[in-house]
Structure formats: structure tokens, C-alpha cells
Structure 1
Amino acid sequence: MLVASSGFDVEGSTTLVDEQLTFYRTYTATADQTADREQRVRQGAARADARARATMGLPESGPLPVGAWVRTGMVGFKLVQARPDAVTAHLLLRTARKSAESSPESVSYAVGTVGVVWRESDWRLDPSGGSSPAPEAVPGIAAPGDAAFNAQGWTAVRQAS
């Protein structure tokens, strides 16, 4: 569930807002979905979409140019706490982007902390975010395959292609 809910693919007329709202509606328990939470997701995703477009030198709105895309996926995790009905984990996310067919691909990494709970017979995003680890407990960013990846305590996510 964490792998599925942390990956997105934005290209053409798809936006980060579209992707984040789909994840919100899919991975948030029905009882936890509110108009206010959905609006916060929409606004946060719109800000992130605007930052990504500005960073890539793309138009502020409209479909992305041919060959432009942004893809994010989880490449590592580190458990903060795990109970039978709740898990909090640090996620290591890899974002790759291209601003046009002929432009080089750029890659960046980020760390996020997410909580999930067992509700409605499935794992769902915890609206409280899960347990809050001390800032010094958040592992540093390291690419899979680097020595620092293991030293920071990350576990690689392996998926069939």
C-alpha cells in the first residue's frame, strides 16, 4: 500500500493534483474523508505542481509539452513503529523529471514520514500522520546502492518490472 500510494506519473494533461486526489480517495478511509481534508490535499498538490513546473521551466498551466514528465516512486523505507493495526515509516522517494524530449533527465530524492492504519478491512492513510519521530531520527537521503543507504538504515523496495 505504501509503495502504491507514494508513486505517481505526471505527463500530458495529467497533473499532480489529479494524482494526489486519486490517492486521497483510494487510500483514505471513507470515514476520514472530509471536504476540508480534500481541499487541503488539492491545495498542497497545486502548490507542488506549480513548484515542479517552475523548476522545469514549463508553462504554469495546461498540458505538459510532449516529452515532459515527472515520475515519483518509493525506493526505500525505514520503520518508525509497527503494530498489528498501525505502521509509521520513513519513505525514501525518488523523483525523475524531464522538461522536453531532448532535455536530460534529472533525479532528486526526498524523505517523508507516513502513517497507515488498518480500517475498513485494508491499510489506509492515517489522518493523524502516525507517530511523530524526533527530527534527528529521520534518516538521511542516500541513493540505493550507495554505502550510505545501508548505513542510514534504509530497506530497499524491490519490484518486478
Structure 2
Amino acid sequence: MISIITKAKENEKNIIDSEAYFNANISSSDFDEKDLEVMQLIDNAHLIDKKLGTIKTDFGITSIKNLSTGCKTVLVYRYLQKHMITCNLNINECGWNAVKVLFDIADGAEANIKLILSNSNSILFLKNDTYQFEINGIVVRDLFASLGRNK
């Protein structure tokens, strides 16, 4: 089940800026095969030097620091999951492609990570997908209605 909250909680650890968290805490040496798959699925990026964090993208050779915000957010989720860190992760800046990959990873995953999603702009593609959601502690079948948007 994917656990979503609609705003950050004051008494809990919240990661509001996943890009800053990624840049400060994650290096390419942390990546496993699933992380490399995430980079390929979201940004069509391929790690070419794990030690230096160099990737090849459609735009050329660059650093992992230049991955998209959505890709970094999914990699932050994976990092938190692997290190069993309990927190809330803001996904409002993710594009639909990153949200789709994130939901596929989070659905049924063993993690104490709630996703902060205050709007439905990046989830419009989910109309035909079937995920189980818990929104602010309530299990729901219709994510759009729960976030105040019609299908």
C-alpha cells in the first residue's frame, strides 16, 4: 500500500527538498542495480563511472548531480528504504514518469516512508492503474477524489 499525506507533519522528519537531500547525502557508490534501473527508466541515464558519479544521458556525459528532480526523488526514496529511515518525502515536484516508477516501487514495499502529495497534477496518468492507497491514514480506492480532483 502506498501511504500518502497531503502536507508535512510538524513532529516528524520531512524531506521537503529531495534534490538538496540527494546532493548532500547520496553518491553513486550507494547505487545498486535497482537504482541504475530507476535512472534508466526516468532519465534514460546510464552510470559509466561509479567512483566519479559520471552518467551518460541523451544530452551527453555529465554527473549524477544533473539527474532530474523526479529521478533524484525516487533515488532518495530507495536510499531511505535501504537504510530503513522513517520519514515523509515530498513528491510534488516529480513528473508523471517519476511518480509512476516511485509508485511501482512503493506499492507493497517494506518501508516507513510516507509520500507528501498535496496536488494531483503529476498523477493524472494513474486513471487506469491499480494501486492501494492510504491517504492521511484512511484507505481509499479513488486517489483523485481523495485529493479533491475528479477523473
Common fold by TM > 0.5: no
Give the strand-richer structure, 1 or 2. Answer: 1
Structure of greater Rg: 1
Higher relative contact order (CA 8 A, sep 6+): 2
Give the helix-richer structure, 1 or 2. Answer: 2
TM-score w.r.t. structure 1 length?
0.28
